[in-house]
């Protein structure tokens, strides 16, 4: 072989060997790049799944919380309507027993249950074994007057009440219902609702879900009726419309798998989705909480944390499925309302996002493989073409190929460490350039996704800030300059409102009607949030405008009630106490629309509750009537009015502050100046509740009357 051929063969061998080595190295780099990209994708997908899952649960936690608040407020308002109906009926019954001769000749004619129609009406029966005497029938004629209050209550609240009834100690059972079932062994004084109210006669008693005498699920509220001598002569009770309760509580879940249920004081299930099925299956009441949950003790603790503290929504296993749930306390009964949603439904979007990401990555991987194959073919063709080119040319070619890949590998590593701004500067138009541009686009998409999360977070913070502004605006509407009337030496006046976290509905007001008459107002709108705040503004404006037109407090409340009832589709209501003080005599003419009892300090320098007769709440029922009554303040005497946020302030042991503690702290102030005794009560409430979050607005108004031409130096 000639030397020339050997040189040519040697050069070809050297060139081919060099190209082969370059190709092998290039393949290794490409393989490493693919492995790095796959690892990066797995890390990004895992992080994204975790971030999305956290975001979904955070979003559903907010949704569950909002729904739970709404359901709690609706349920609480329904139960308060029932308790108010029982309380007003009991008050009316006491008036009947106080003056039986006045009502004995009433036009109401009692109808025996066996003769009553199947429509909503009044009917009676006697307990088994009761001897029917003339005195018994005379008492029945008096009791039949209950139809006067039973009828409007049942017709206005038929959605919430099943029936309304009264049982007497003498054995009379008088009810307003459409049920004609006659139980021959029925004894009024042995029924649970009668015995419960006899045991605690001064408050509304709730009987949790049970199967009643007619075989139906039932929730009952009752209250004892006292005769003129203070003995218990009867008990008034009302049955909650259980079907409506089930519809309101269970029928408004969140999402496709959402569910809601009620827990009683003993943490038994009062209402839930399968309640009726379980009653039929077990041939009676079946409400065991533990039978539905894995680790029920832990679940109950978390439910209590949500309802009574700052606990957040949590995971639990219910009936073999994982759920995400939260809870709220119903103020009127102390029961707990729990709202839940299947965890599987919450995380369902993650699977869709993951599937879509996997498809996109698979497409990109297929494209990368295709590009790699094309690159191999081009490399083989290049080897054939440049087989006779010198090693220097091969060197530059290898650098042209390997350097961009190294840069892209570095970019991949930086992205894996979270740096989305350091992009690859490869601008070639070959397959590696396409790969680099595709990876740069992926960086932009990831950065956009991150910015979107920041935007969502900022939006939530903005909404929170707007609620804070709304709270300040609401507070600014109340008079806060003290003394408000420095020229009026005959009075000393002070007020305070400590709002809860949310925008609320408490308000107070005081203003001069003329030179000698001062109006005092304190009120509490049902519910919380922006709707309550708006209703508060309307109520405050109507009360003040109507008061300035003249009239007694009862007339003013009657007119304001009718105005508020118009278009009140949200079923909101207001408790209100209105007093007009004659500054020359110290006489306060007042009327009470379902508000707390005022506390009055007389000549003995001791505050005591004045248990005035309540009228119905404002906006509760059109045409409601109210009564005026008078409070004569002694010279140097004081009056203190407040909202339910004071006695119902709750500590970590779920105990309430109560009116006894309130009076005790009012009487600790030797100097009965309004700013001092209000400050004393406020400090006592804060000390009592400790670290517990404030559940409701705390509003107080106090006034001391010194008399005309007083220097404010004398005390009673």
What number of CA atoms fall less than 13 Å from residue 473's CA on the CB side? 12
Residue 552 and residue 651 share a domain: yes
Residue 112 and residue 24 share a domain: no
223 strand-pairing partners: 236
Q: What is the DSSP string of 480-540?
A: --SSS-TT-TTEEEEEEEE--SS---EEEEEEEEETTEEEEEEEEESS-HHHHHHHHHHHH
Residue 674 and residue 537 share a domain: yes
- 340: nearest Cα among 309, 310, 302: 302
* Structure-block tokens of residue 683: 């400090």
- 161: nearest Cα among 235, 244, 89, 217: 244
Residue 235: CB atoms within 10 Å:
28
Q: Which of 23-37, 499-513, 555-569 has the highest mean pLDDT?
A: 555-569
CA distance 222 to 237: 4
Q: Provide the pLDDT confidence category of residue 548 given band limits of 50, 70 and 90.
A: very high
DSSP 621: S
CA distance 635 to 291: 65
Write out the residue range of the structural domain in which residue 514 sits. 477-705
- 81: nearest Cα among 180, 255, 204: 204
CA distance 302 to 317: 13
Residue 578 and residue 492 share a domain: yes
Assess if residue 472 is contained within a domain: no
Assess if residue 461 is contained within a domain: no
Assess if residue 161 is contained within a domain: yes
Assess if residue 535 is contained within a domain: yes
Residue 533 and residue 577 share a domain: yes
Residue 679 and residue 531 share a domain: yes
Q: What are the Cα distances from residue 23, in Å, to 49, 383, 397, 538?
A: 38, 10, 11, 83
Assess if residue 468 is contained within a domain: no
- 555: nearest Cα among 563, 565, 547: 547
Residue 646 and residue 505 share a domain: yes
Q: Is the pTM of this model over 0.75?
A: no
Burial of 538 (0-12, 13-18, 19+ CB in 10 A): middle
What is the maximal distance between C-alpha atoms in the chain? 148
Q: What are the Cα distances from residue 251, in Å, to 261, 271, 273, 491?
A: 10, 11, 8, 54
Q: Which of 43-52, 392-401, 494-503, 623-632 has the highest mean pLDDT?
A: 623-632
Q: Provide the pLDDT confidence category of residue 441 given band limits of 50, 70 and 90.
A: confident
* Residues 9-42: tens digit of each pLDDT: 877 777 778 777 876 876 788 777 767 777 776 7
Assess if residue 421 is contained within a domain: yes
Residue 261 and residue 233 share a domain: no
Choose one of 314, 346, 378: the last residue of a domain.
Answer: 346
CA distance 498 to 175: 44
CATH number at residue 330: 3.30.450.20
Q: What is the pLDDT, as a whole number, of residue 98?
A: 92
Q: Which strands sit side by side in the sheet containing 259-263, from one edge to the other?
A: 269-271, 259-263, 336-342, 321-329, 314-318
CATH number at residue 672: 3.60.40.10
Place of tokens 């009537």: 625
Residue 507 and residue 581 share a domain: yes
Q: With the C-alpha atoms ordered 31, 37, 39, 45, is the resulting torsion angle positive or negative?
A: negative
Which phi and psi (to 5°) does residue 471 adopt? -60, -45
Residue 352 and residue 340 share a domain: no
Residue environment code for 649-666, b if the CB has 16+ CB neighbours within 10 A, otherwise e = bbeeeeeebebebbbebb
Q: What is the DSSP string of 658-716?
A: HHHHHHHHHTT-SS--HHHHHHHHHHHHHHHHTTSPP-S-EEEEEEEE--TT--S----
Assess if residue 466 is contained within a domain: no
Residue 662 and residue 516 share a domain: yes
CA distance 555 to 485: 26
pLDDT, average across residues 377-397 = 71
Choose one of 279, 313, 346: the last residue of a domain.
Answer: 346
Q: Are 233 and 169 in contact (CB under 8 A)?
A: yes
Region for 495 from its dihedrals, namely left if φ exceeds 0, alpha if ψ lies in -120 to 50, beta otherwise? beta
Q: Please count the structural domains in the chain.
A: 4
Residues 6+ apart with CB under 8 A from 627: 554, 591, 613, 615
Place of tokens 């008061």: 547
Residue 535 Cα to chain centre, angstroms: 18
* Structure-block tokens of residue 277: 């099925």
* Structure-block tokens of residue 540: 């405050």
Residue 425 has pLDDT above 60, yes or no: yes
- 507: nearest Cα among 434, 452, 459, 577: 577
Residue 93 has pLDDT above 80, yes or no: yes
Assess if residue 76 is contained within a domain: no
Residue 2 has pLDDT above 60, yes or no: no
Residue 634 Cα to chain centre, angstroms: 44
* Residues 593-648: tens digit of each pLDDT: 999 999 999 888 899 999 999 999 999 999 999 999 999 999 999 999 999 999 99
Residue 481 and residue 509 share a domain: yes
Q: What is the DSSP string of 344-361?
A: HHHSHHHHHHHHHHHHHH
Percent of the chain with pLDDT over 90: 40
* Residues 123-180: tens digit of each pLDDT: 999 999 999 999 999 999 999 999 999 999 988 887 778 889 999 999 999 999 887 7
């Amino acid at each position: 072989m000639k030397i020339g051929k050997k040189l040519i063969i040697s050069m070809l061998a050297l060139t081919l060997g060099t190209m082969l080595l370059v190709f092998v190295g290039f393949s290794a780099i490409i393989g490493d790049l693919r492995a790095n990209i796959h690892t990066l994708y797995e890390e990004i997908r895992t992080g994204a799944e975790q971030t999305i899952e956290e975001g979904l649960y955070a979003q559903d936690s907010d949704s569950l919380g909002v729904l739970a608040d709404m359901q709690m407020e609706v349920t609480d308002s329904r139960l308060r309507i029932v308790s108010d109906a029982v309380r007003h009926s009991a008050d009316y019954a006491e008036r009947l027993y106080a003056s039986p001769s006045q009502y004995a000749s009433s036009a109401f004619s009692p109808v025996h249950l066996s003769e009553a129609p199947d429509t909503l009406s009044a009917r009676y029966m006697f307990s088994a074994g009761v001897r029917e005497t003339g005195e018994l029938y005379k008492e029945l004629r008096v009791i039949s007057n209950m139809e006067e209050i039973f009828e409007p209550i049942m017709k206005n609240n038929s959605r919430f009440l099943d029936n309304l009834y009264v049982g007497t100690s003498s054995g009379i059972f008088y009810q307003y219902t459409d049920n004609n079932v006659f139980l021959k062994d029925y004894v009024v004084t042995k029924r649970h609702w009668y015995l419960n109210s006899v045991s605690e006669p001064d408050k509304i008693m709730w009987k949790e879900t049970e199967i009643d005498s007619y075989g139906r699920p039932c929730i009952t509220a009752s209250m004892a009726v006292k005769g003129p001598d203070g003995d218990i002569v009867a008990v008034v009770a009302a049955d909650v419309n259980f079907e409506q309760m089930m519809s309101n509580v269970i029928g408004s879940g969140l999402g496709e798998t959402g569910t809601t249920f009620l827990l009683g004081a003993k943490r038994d299930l009062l209402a839930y989705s399968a309640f009726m099925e379980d009653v039929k299956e077990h041939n009676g009441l079946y409400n065991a909480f533990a039978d539905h949950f894995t680790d029920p003790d832990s679940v109950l603790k978390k439910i209590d944390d949500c309802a009574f503290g700052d606990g957040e929504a949590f995971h639990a296993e219910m009936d073999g499925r994982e759920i995400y749930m939260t809870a709220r306390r119903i103020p009127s009964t102390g029961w707990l309302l729990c709202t839940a949603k299947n965890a599987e439904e919450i995380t369902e979007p993650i699977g869709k996002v993951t599937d879509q990401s996997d498809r996109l990555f698979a497409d990109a991987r297929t494209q990368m493989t295709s590009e790699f194959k094309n690159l191999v073919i081009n490399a083989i063709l290049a080897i054939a073409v440049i087989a006779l080119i010198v090693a220097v040319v091969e060197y530059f070619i290898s650098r042209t190929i390997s350097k961009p890949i190294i840069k892209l590998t570095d970019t991949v590593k930086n992205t894996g460490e979270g740096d989305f701004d350091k992009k690859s500067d490869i601008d070639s138009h070959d397959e590696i350039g396409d790969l680099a541009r595709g990876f740069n686009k992926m960086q932009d998409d990831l950065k956009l996704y991150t910015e979107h999360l920041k935007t969502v977070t900022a939006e939530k913070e903005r909404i929170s800030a707007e609620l804070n502004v709304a709270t300040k605006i609401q507070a600014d509407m109340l008079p806060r300059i003290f003394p408000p009337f420095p020229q009026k030496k005959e009075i000393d006046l002070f007020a305070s409102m400590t709002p809860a976290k949310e925008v609320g509905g408490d308000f107070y007001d005081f203003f001069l009607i003329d030179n000698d008459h001062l109006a005092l107002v304190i009120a509490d709108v049902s519910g919380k949030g922006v709707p309550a705040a708006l209703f508060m503004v309307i109520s405050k404006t109507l009360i003040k405008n109507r008061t300035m037109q003249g009239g007694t407090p009862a007339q003013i409340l009657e007119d304001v009630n009718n105005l508020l009832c118009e278009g009140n589709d949200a079923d909101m209501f207001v408790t209100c106490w209105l007093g007009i003080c004659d500054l020359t005599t110290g006489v306060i003419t007042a009327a009470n629309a379902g508000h707390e009892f005022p506390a009055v300090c007389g000549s003995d320098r001791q505050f005591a509750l004045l248990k005035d007769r309540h009228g119905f709440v404002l906006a509760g029922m059109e045409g409601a009537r109210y009564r005026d009554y008078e409070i004569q303040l002694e010279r140097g005497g004081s009056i203190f009015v407040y909202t339910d946020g004071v006695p119902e302030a709750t500590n970590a042991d779920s105990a309430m502050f109560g009116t006894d503690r309130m009076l005790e702290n009012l009487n600790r102030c030797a100097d009965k100046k309004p700013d001092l005794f209000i400050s004393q009560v406020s400090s006592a409430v804060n000390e009592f509740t400790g670290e517990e979050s404030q559940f409701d607005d705390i509003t107080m108004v106090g006034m001391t009357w010194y008399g005309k031409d007083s220097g404010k130096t004398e005390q009673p």
